[in-house]
Amino acid sequence: MQVALVGVTGYSGMVLYRLLKQHPQVDEIHLYGHADAATVPLKTVATMYQEETAEIRPFDAATIMRDDAVVFFATSAGITRQLALPLIEAHFPVIDLSGDFRLHDPQQYQHWYHREPAPAAALAQASYGLADIPATLTTYIANPGCYATATLLGLAPLVQHQLIDPTSIVVDAKSGLSGAGKRATDSSHYVAVNDNLSLYKLNQHQHIPEIMQQLQQWWSAVPAIEFTTTLIPVTRGIMATIYAKAHQPLTTAQLQATFNDSYQAQPFVQVLPTGMPTLKDVVGSNNCALGVDYNPVTNTIVVVSVIDNLMKGAAGQAIQNFNRYFELPVTAGLPTLPVFP
C-alpha cells in the first residue's frame, strides 16, 4: 500500500514516519510539504534521516488521490482546513492529527483555536477517532488530541456507566515538553523547564471542547469539567489524574471490574490490578495504562491515566485508526512494549 504524509518535520510527523516505515502493509511513503515549496530531500530538513532517500514534495491533492490509498496530516492547527477540502469532496481517506476537524461546531473551533474554522458541511463529514473505544469511521478521521486521549480513556467507564456525579469531574493533567512542538518559546527554554513545574492555558486549553463534546455524547448530563494542564521537565509522556464523586458508594474492586470489562478487547489499554501507573510504564509504546482507586471517606474516585503523547496521543493512535479503517490487525506496526530505562 502507498500512503502520503503531510508534515514529516514535526515531532508527531517524525514518529509517524518511523511507524509507517516499519508497518507491514505500507510499501511506500510519499512525503509532502507546503503547496508553494520546492522539492527537498528529507535528510536536509531532518538530520536524523541521513540514510533516507525520500523527498518532500509540494502538496498536491490530485497527485495524492492518484498515487496513494490514504493521506496522514501531521500538521499544525489551521493547515488541514485549508488543504483538505478537495479530499473531503472526493471522499478520499484522510487521518488528521491536527485539531481542525475534531469539533462539530465551527464557532467552538473559532473560540478555542482563534482561527477561522472549516465549513460546517466539511466538519460534519469527519469522525472522531478515539481508537480504543471503537465507533464508525468516516473517510475523514480526526485523530484525538493527546490530553483528550488520556482524559477520555480514563473517564469513559465512569461516564458510560454513569457511576459518578456528572458535575464533579476534575482533571489535573501533566505533559512533557514534546507536547508543545518544536518551535521554541520563552516558556519552553531549558532554563524555564528544568527543575520546574508550570501551569499553562488554565481553563483555555484547546482540548477541553473535544473532551466535552465526547463526554456529552456518552452522557448528556455532564455539564462541564475542571481541567488544568501542567508542563513538567520530561521529554515525553502525559499523566492525567482524574477525580470525581461516586454516584453511590462502591469499592476499588468494583471499579477495576468495570474498567476491565470496558477495555478487555483493547490490547493497548492496560488496567493495573494494584497501584498507579507511571510515565515509564508507557513511554515508547502505544499503550494507555490506567490505575483506579476509591476513597470511602471522601466518596471520591481517582483514576490515573498515562500515555506517550507522541505515540498514543498522536502518531500511534493515527496508525491504530489506519489499521481500523483498512481492517488490518489492530496491533500492526505498533510497539506494545515501553522503552526502559
Residues 75 and 168 in one domain: no
Residue 333 lies in a domain: no
How many Cβ atoms are within 10 Å of 194's Cβ, its own excluded? 9
Residues 214 and 284 in one domain: yes
CATH number where 281 lies: 3.30.360.10
199 pLDDT more than 80: yes
Start-to-end CA distance of the chain, whole Å, equals: 35
Beta strands in the chain (DSSP E): 2-6, 28-33, 40-41, 55-58, 70-73, 94-96, 126-128, 140-142, 170-175, 198-200, 226-231, 238-245, 269-271, 288-295, 300-307
Residue 212 lies in a domain: yes
Nearest alpha-carbon partner for 61 in 40, 76, 82, 44 = 82
Residues 173 and 104 in one domain: no
Residue 332 lies in a domain: no
Residues 241 and 95 in one domain: no
Domain span holding position 226: 147-308
Q: Are 155 and 140 in contact (CB under 8 A)?
A: no
Residues 203 and 301 in one domain: yes
Provide the CA 316 distance to its chain's centre, in angstroms. 8
Residue-averaged pLDDT of the chain: 95
Residues 212 and 294 in one domain: yes
Residue 341 lies in a domain: no
Residues 231 and 316 in one domain: no
pLDDT of residue 41: 92
What is d(CA 212, CA 225) in angstroms, rounded to the nearest whole number?
Answer: 8
Residue 52 lies in a domain: yes
Residues 201 and 303 in one domain: yes
pTM confidence score: 0.96
Residues 273 and 198 in one domain: yes
Residue 339 lies in a domain: no
DSSP letters along 287-298, please? -EEEEEEEETTT
User: Per residue in 58-114, pLDDT tens?
Assistant: 999 999 999 999 999 999 999 999 999 999 999 999 999 999 999 999 999 999 999
Provide the CA 22 distance to its chain's centre, in angstroms. 20
What is d(CA 184, CA 186) in angstroms, rounded to the nearest whole number?
Answer: 7
Catalytic residues: 146
